[in-house]
């Protein structure tokens, strides 16, 4: 931790340092991270105001984690603001506190004692780059792998199934009470990032954590219904287009589909309606990895990649080639261009 921050918090430092001894030697997800867990715990305890930021096109884990932390800190009497660069998808409107998230232009980070980035290791993805580098106390809690850490305190746990998974362990470890609202937000993050408990990341431990969150009042059936079992007509129509355009590349084992900006407009659909399509492409048995290219705005293309453990493909390496990133089995990137078809072949052309 930086010198100035340490000085700022020195009054209660000694007192809180003692408590760390209770955690040391514990196993589990955060077993080797006692020091940073402790530093983050202290920093948040001492803060009067906290800005929580999460990534562009926020998903269930980004929003669930941000809102869970918001509820916890507000219960401690702190002033908290939550920021996401883009609006929350419709399907997450059931999350308690979602109406308080600020979208688009972030609040001034210098007005907050602490800035926390969740589910995003880079300041660019939260669109706070250039705004928080000089901030004395920035915290990043994430399960994405990244080459360089940009925050002062980094709790990065790639083996975690979700950022909400890390937060749940963090709250348990620091004896933070978990209310029904907090449990609902955390379970939504875990449920969505594990692909409804179907991805390889679904371990006995995470099911136990999920069960404990249900014990605190989170309703799994409600979360499942709101996030995956409710489809509107535009959503079904855009899925139809994506599925009708499936292409298999026998040489690379790639299953690819395409959605253009015109498709979205004609179906009245948004990028959010396509959530889950790439996983569906990946269900073809001969597929090594799946790619969905979506021109979500004229000239802006988003690529979503998925694979499965037994297929031996690292899709984050493919995403990196296009300036993106992610995990071995789920990654993404963005490129500038239009998706154009000629003679049955799709190409990305410069805008």
Binding site for Mn ion (CB under 5 A): 61, 119, 162-163, 193
Nearer to Mn ion, 47 or 167 (CB): 167
To Mn ion, the closest distance from the beta carbon of 165 in angstroms equals 9
Q: Which residue number, 61 or 181, has a Cβ lying nearer to Mn ion?
A: 61
Q: How many CB atoms lie within 10 A of CB 56?
A: 14
Per-residue 3-state assignment (H helix, E strand, C coil) for 136-196: CCEEEEECCCCCCCCCCEEEECCCCCCHHHHHHHHHHHCCCCCCHHHHHHHHHHHHHHCCC
- Which of 257/282 has CB closer to Mn ion? 282
- 263/258 Cα distance (integer angstroms): 9
- Residue 33 or 137: which CB sits closer to Mn ion? 33
Compute the least distance from the CB of residue 100 to Mn ion, in Å.
Answer: 21
CA atoms within 13 A on the CB side of 65: 33
Residue 195: CB atoms within 10 A of its CB come to: 18
Residue 144's closest CA among 114, 169, 166, 127? 166
**In the complex, residue closest to Mn ion by CB:** 61
Least distance between Mn ion and beta carbon 119 (Å): 4
Nearer to Mn ion, 158 or 240 (CB): 158
Q: Taking the complex as a whole, how short is the minimal distance between the CB of residue 55 and Mn ion, in angstroms? A: 9
Neighbours of 22 (CB within 10 A): 12
Minimum CB distance to Mn ion, residue 68 (Å): 13
């Amino acid at each position: 931790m930086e010198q100035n921050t340490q000085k700022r918090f020195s009054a209660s430092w000694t007192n809180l340092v003692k408590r760390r001894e209770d955690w040391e030697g514990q196993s589990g997800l955060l077993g080797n991270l006692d020091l940073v867990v402790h530093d983050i715990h202290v920093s948040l305890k001492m803060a009067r105001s906290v800005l929580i930021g999460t990534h562009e096109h926020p998903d269930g884990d980004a929003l669930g984690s941000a809102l869970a932390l918001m509820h916890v800190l507000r219960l401690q009497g702190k002033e908290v603001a939550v920021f996401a660069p883009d609006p929350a998808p419709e399907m997450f409107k059931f999350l308690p506190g979602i109406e308080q998230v600020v979208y688009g232009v972030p609040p001034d980070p210098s007005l907050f004692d602490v800035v926390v980035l969740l589910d995003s290791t880079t300041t660019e993805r939260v669109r706070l780059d250039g705004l928080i580098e000089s901030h004395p106390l920035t915290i990043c809690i994430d399960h994405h792998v990244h080459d360089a850490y940009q925050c002062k305190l980094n709790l990065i746990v790639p083996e975690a199934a979700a950022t909400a998974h890390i937060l749940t362990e963090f709250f348990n470890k620091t004896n933070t009470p978990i209310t029904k609202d907090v449990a609902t937000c955390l379970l939504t993050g875990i449920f969505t990032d594990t692909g409804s408990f179907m991805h390889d990341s679904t371990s006995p431990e995470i099911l136990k954590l999920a069960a404990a969150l249900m014990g605190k009042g989170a309703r799994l059936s409600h979360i499942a219904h709101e996030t995956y079992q409710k489809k509107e007509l535009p959503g079904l129509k855009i899925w139809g287009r994506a599925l009708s355009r499936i292409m298999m590349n026998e040489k690379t084992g790639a299953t690819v589909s395409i959605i253009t900006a015109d498709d979205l407009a004609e179906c009245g659909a948004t990028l959010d309606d396509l959530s889950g399509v790439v996983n569906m492409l990946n269900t073809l048995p001969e597929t090594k990895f799946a790619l969905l290219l979506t021109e979500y705005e004229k000239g802006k293309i988003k690529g979503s990649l998925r694979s499965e453990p037994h297929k031996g493909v690292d899709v984050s390496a493919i995403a990196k080639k296009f300036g993106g990133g992610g995990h071995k089995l789920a990654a993404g990137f963005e490129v500038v261009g239009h998706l154009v078809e000629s003679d049955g072949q799709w190409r990305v052309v410069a805008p």
